[in-house]
Chain A
Amino acid sequence: MSTMTIDKSGPTRKVKYGSMSRDRTWALRWSYFFLILFAIFSLTPPLYMLITSLKSSAEISAATNPWWVYHPTLSNYIELLTSNQFLRFFWNSAWVSIIVVTITMLISVPAAFALARMKFWGSATLATGVFLTYLIPDSLLFIPLFKMFAVFGDWTGIQLVNRWYVLLFIYPTLTVPFCTWIMIGYFASIPKELDEAAIIDGASWFQTLTRIFIPVALPGLIAATIFAFTVSWAQFLYPLVFTTSTDQLVLPVGIITTLIKGDVFNWGQIMTGALLGAAPPLIIYAFLMDYYIAGLTAGATKG
């Protein structure tokens, strides 16, 4: 910043700062050059999805320039959006994600409030434990969880495996620890005087949470909600393990298992499905980028 202001006052001391400002101009040009390269690298796959999704299968199998659409058509979109199966995947995904977000918030917000403000026996250990849980990956737990739910089904007769709602039990293990962790960070940054004032005015702990903490920490709450939604929407391993019938699948698994039939790849439809599957997180990101990034960086910089 300050160097920029020196540059602006440059003309009066042309000789001294001329070279410095020229250096900066070149640095800026090089920065733009490499940024463009990296942006191409980043955006090639999503753009290629879009390009392919606008092609008919005849155009895809013809050996034309793959980077260009000669006869754009929306037939892939129409076919997928009128297919009951695809809409079923979409609704399954939407329901799972929305309910998981609700469950996550109901569990993690009160827990984060209790851990951040109401010091009790073992609260510090529990906060650390929550963070450690976040570090346990899904690929470590999927086999024992699968066996657990199968055994549970044998014991009680309640069959949960191969039902989409089994994911409602499993996804919170991915979302709750991280959301609790970042909410602890946000709640801890609220001045203590605020809740003391509320308590003195006769508010109960619950009222303090709903009237003071949730409104003040709303940005954190939005960031946590976005995180929970994107994680549940993108999760691939658990639905692949737990659901197999086509009417129980969520979007990512549905696209991969039903659109790829043996060795026949209908690429136009696969890319359309992938793009539609990527759309909800991308739309949320486009509108709430700052909250998204805040949630991303909060996990490591807060606490």
Chain B
Amino acid sequence: MVDVAFQPNRTAAAQSGRRRVGLRNALRRKSMSAFLMTLPLILLIAILVIYPALYSLHLATLNKAMTKFVGFGNFEFLFKRETFWLVVKQSCIFAISAVIFKALIGFIVAHFVHNVPANKQRKWRGMLLVPWVIPPAMSTLAWLWLFDPSYSAFNYTLSFFGIGPIPWTGDAMWARFSVILVNVWYGAPFFMIMYLAALKSVPEQLYEAAAIDGANWWQRIWYVTLPMMRNIIAITTLFSLIVTFANFDIVRILTAGGPLDHTHIFATWAFRVGIEGSDIPLGASVSLFMVPILAVAAIFILRDITKRGNES
């Protein structure tokens, strides 16, 4: 308005002033609209992720009827139960061995796919990624049927080699093996795809230089491929560790924790105790035990990502 009053005398100055006001308005508008654009995201994360996470801390300190504050009572109760330590042990065995096998198989298969002529890679990659695409709840049903005690197609095949009927889900050790096998089947393609992408980003000249220096294939992998892929291997492994540690579908459908709780992991046991046993506070306390390992993995992933962010 002031600008308008001065306009007849000092046109140029007025115009520059108006432009500055317009710019300031635009800036104000920019941060305001940016805030409005992110508001749904912030609300979603705050209400449906952060609040429940804190709420579960609160729930874990209540008694079963959720009427009384019991402090660390639930945790003391858990520490005294043998099943809890069984679940801790099984979760660690499950997550660590499954991730190791997924990473190894993924690495090996990625190399094989990379060896094949480029025009055929697409077809192989497409076939090998199928396990990752099928919803795990659906594919685990197929595995359950393959492992069926009386009609197992695997046992039928193995009987021709003189290998007796294997109690795939009936015996504790075999059940653990089966659960890990299904998880490896489901997760290995993800590693394969990530490693394949990483393999393609290794410059061919490095291999040529290594070959000229007389490196054999093992040395090429050890001194060229692995160092170049270190970042992607680390991040994929950590990510998979989180997902595997928190796995629910496969164990739930394949064994439902049985036989005699010998395949329960944190998520399935928390479900059994918290939802099926309607002891919500105890279930919340069980699932909270996943937090430390998830936090450690998350910190490492985050460090890697910020490091790469700074480099670029």
Contact = CB atoms under 8 A, between A and B. Distances in A.
B248 A139 contact: yes
Given A45-B143, A48-B142, A256-B141, A1 B30 contact: no
A155 interface: no
Interface string B285-300: 0011011001001100
A75 B86 CA distance: 45
B45 A147 contact: no
A120 B34 contact: yes
A143 B112 contact: no
Contacts of B290: 137, 139-140
A82 interface: no
Contacts of B280: 143, 146-147
Interface stretch (A9-17, A216-224, A295-303): A295-303
A152 to B, nearest CB: 11
B133 A136 contact: no
A91 interface: no
A212 interface: no
Contact of A131 (B125, B284, B302): B302
Contacts of B33: 114, 118, 205-206
Nearest to B184: A41
Given A49-B142, A173-B44, A31 B115 contact: yes
Given A107-B41, A137-B294, A297-B197, A118 B30 contact: yes
B127 interface: yes
Q: Is the interface of A mostly helix, strand, loop or mixed?
A: helix
A35 B124 contact: yes
Contacts of A35: 109, 112-113, 116, 124, 128
Given A147-B55, A300-B194, A132 B298 contact: yes
A286 B52 CA distance: 37
B182 to A, nearest CB: 9
Contacts of B288: 140
A141 B56 contact: yes
A161 to B, nearest CB: 11
Given A143-B283, A177-B45, A285 B133 contact: yes
Contact of A236 (B137, B157, B185): B137
Contacts of A126: 38, 41-42
Contacts of B309: 303
B271 interface: yes
Nearest to A67: B153
B35 interface: yes
A240 B280 CA distance: 16
Interface string B204-223: 10001000000000000000
A144 B44 contact: no
A159 interface: no
A42 B137 contact: no
A180 to B, nearest CB: 6
B197 A301 contact: yes
B153 A277 contact: no
A137 B34 CA distance: 28
A208 B108 CA distance: 45
Contact of A143 (B122, B157, B287): B287
Interface in B56-81: 56, 59
Contact of B208 (A2, A139, A141, A233): A2
A32 B116 CA distance: 8
B253 interface: yes
Contact of B41 (A45, A180, A230, A278): A180
A31 B116 contact: yes
Contacts of A256: 137, 141, 253
Interface in A20-64: 27-28, 31-32, 34-35, 38-39, 41-46, 48-49, 52, 60-61
B249 interface: yes
B45 A129 contact: yes
Interface in B213-253: 232, 235-236, 239, 242-243, 245-249, 252-253
Interface string B110-154: 011101101000101111111111111111011101101001010
Residue with the highest number of chain A CB atoms closer than 10 Å, among B111, B126, B232: B126
A144 B294 CA distance: 18
A142 B301 contact: no
10 contacts: A43-B127, A111-B37, A140-B287, A147-B59, A148-B51, A230-B135, A241-B275, A267-B145, A267-B148, A300-B236
Interface of A: 1-2, 27-28, 31-32, 34-35, 38-39, 41-46, 48-49, 52, 60-61, 65-67, 106-108, 110-111, 113-115, 118, 120-121, 123, 126, 128-133, 135-148, 169-170, 172-173, 176-177, 180, 205-206, 230, 233-234, 236-237, 240-241, 252-253, 255-256, 265, 267, 270-271, 274-275, 277-278, 281-282, 285, 289, 292-293, 296-297, 300-301, 303
Q: Which 10 A-B pairs have the closest CB atoms?
A: A137-B246, A234-B135, A139-B267, A118-B34, A144-B52, A45-B142, A144-B56, A111-B41, A110-B37, A114-B37
Given A35-B116, A139-B290, 17 more contacts: A31-B112, A31-B113, A42-B185, A60-B151, A67-B156, A67-B157, A114-B37, A129-B45, A136-B294, A139-B267, A140-B294, A141-B49, A143-B283, A143-B284, A205-B33, A230-B133, A292-B133
